[in-house]
């Protein structure tokens, strides 16, 4: 079967929230993609701001993030509070990771920030994500995103992508691997585009079933031989 690459856009309040985060400076964005062996999976998105700076701004996390009215069906939105950051975590179940973007939301809710795709290749999976310089995305059509604001985000922002693929990862360009999970640390204000990629391979079902069948056949043959020898001995004793 020929796999199709779905280069959709990530939805959510990521870039919208970023504009507000500029006022406080220190932000954390994390995207975690998990692919199961059956092709289903989940996407988790965290958007958070430094707790101390949030307190200094006299705003609550609810005021800054607001309600996620366009959250995908079945998603769970909860408070995120970790390592001195506070914000929101949205977890979205995905029935088929090849069309993950369609599970994350409609085209009207997509941003122009990040292209990503998961594709089945043989017995494995391939992941790709194209990340442009997000400072340009934040500037938008208004063009009033000042150099000072850009520098503030560049010096304090964390943008992290995690990917978990089934099977053995045979190639990747991740910055590190944590307990089998690929991790990329991205520069929000990098000058050029960055393409993240990874590929995994899983053992085919056919060889496993064949091995089990051979093992069962050998076991039956051994039992039959033992039974025959026992019957012969019993007759000799009689």
> pLDDT of 212-232, one tens digit each?
545 555 555 555 555 555 555
> Is the predicted pLDDT of residue 142 greater than 50, yes or no?
no
Residues with Cβ within 8 Å of 54's Cβ and at least 6 positions away in sequence, in order, are 24, 60, 61, 64, 86
Task: Assess whether 94 and 179 both reside in one domain.
Answer: yes
Confidence band of 193 (pLDDT split at 50, 70, 90): confident
Return the minimum-mean-pLDDT range out of 6-15, 17-26, 172-181, 190-199: 6-15
Q: Kindly state whether residue 215 falls inside one of the protein's structural domains.
A: yes
Q: Of the ranges 6-20, 41-55, 75-89, 116-130, which one carries the lowest mean pLDDT score?
A: 6-20
187 shares its domain with 209: no
> Cα dihedral angle (180, 91, 7, 17), rounded to 10 degrees?
-110
- The 3-state DSSP class for residue 150 equals helix
Distance CA 134, CA 139 (A): 9
Average pLDDT in the 94-100 region?
Answer: 93
Q: Are residues 64 and 130 in the same domain?
A: yes
Report whether 46 contacts 150 (CB < 8 A): no
- Domain match, 159 and 225 both: no
Question: Between 106 and 165, whose confidence is greater?
Answer: 165
Tally of domains within the chain = 2
Residue 127's H or E segment, with its range, is strand 124-131
Q: Does position 237 have pLDDT exceeding 70, yes or no? A: no
Is residue 222 included in any domain, yes or no? yes
Is the pLDDT assigned to residue 168 strictly greater than 90? Answer: yes
Say yes or no: 142 and 175 in one domain: yes
The whole-number pLDDT of residue 35 equals: 97
Read off the pLDDT band of 132 (50, 70, 90): confident
The predicted pLDDT at position 176 comes to 97
Is there a single domain that holds both residue 131 and residue 76?
yes
> Do residues 117 and 60 both lie within one domain?
yes
- Is the model's pLDDT at 36 over the cut of 90? yes
Q: Which has the higher per-residue pLDDT, 51 or 210?
A: 51
Structural domain of residue 26, as residue ranges? 8-201
* 197 shares its domain with 219: no
107 & 119 share domain: yes
Q: What is the pTM of this model?
A: 0.70
- What confidence score (pLDDT) does residue 52 get? 77
Is residue 3 in some structural domain? no
The radius of gyration computed from the CA coordinates of the chain, to the nearest angstrom, equals: 26
**Given this model, what pLDDT does residue 210 score?**
45
pLDDT tier at 1 (50, 70, 90 boundaries)? very low
User: Average pLDDT for residues 178-198, to the nearest whole number?
Assistant: 89
3 state SS of 70: coil
According to DSSP, residue 72 is labeled P
């Amino acid at each position: 079967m020929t796999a199709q690459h779905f280069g959709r856009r990530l939805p959510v309040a990521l870039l919208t929230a970023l504009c507000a985060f500029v006022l406080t400076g220190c932000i954390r964005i994390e995207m975690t993609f998990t692919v199961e062996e059956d092709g289903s999976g989940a996407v988790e998105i965290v958007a958070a701001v430094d707790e101390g700076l949030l307190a200094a701004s006299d705003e609550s996390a609810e005021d800054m993030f607001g309600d996620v009215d366009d959250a995908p069906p079945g998603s769970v939105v909860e408070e995120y509070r970790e390592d001195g950051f506070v914000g929101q975590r949205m977890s979205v179940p995905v029935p088929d990771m090849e069309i993950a973007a369609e599970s994350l939301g409609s085209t009207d809710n997509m941003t122009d920030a990040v292209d990503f795709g998961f594709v089945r290749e043989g017995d494995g999976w391939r992941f790709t994500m194209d990340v442009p310089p997000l400072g340009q995305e934040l500037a938008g059509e208004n063009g009033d995103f000042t150099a000072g604001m850009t520098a503030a985000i560049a010096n304090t922002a964390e943008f992290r992508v995690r990917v978990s693929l089934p099977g053995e990862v045979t190639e990747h360009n991740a910055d590190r691997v944590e307990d089998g999970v690929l991790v990329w640390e991205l520069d929000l204000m990098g000058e050029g585009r960055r393409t993240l990629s990874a590929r995994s391979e899983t053992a085919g079902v056919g060889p496993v079933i064949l091995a089990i069948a051979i093992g069962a056949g050998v076991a039956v043959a051994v039992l039959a031989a033992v039974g025959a020898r026992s019957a012969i001995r019993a007759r000799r004793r009689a």
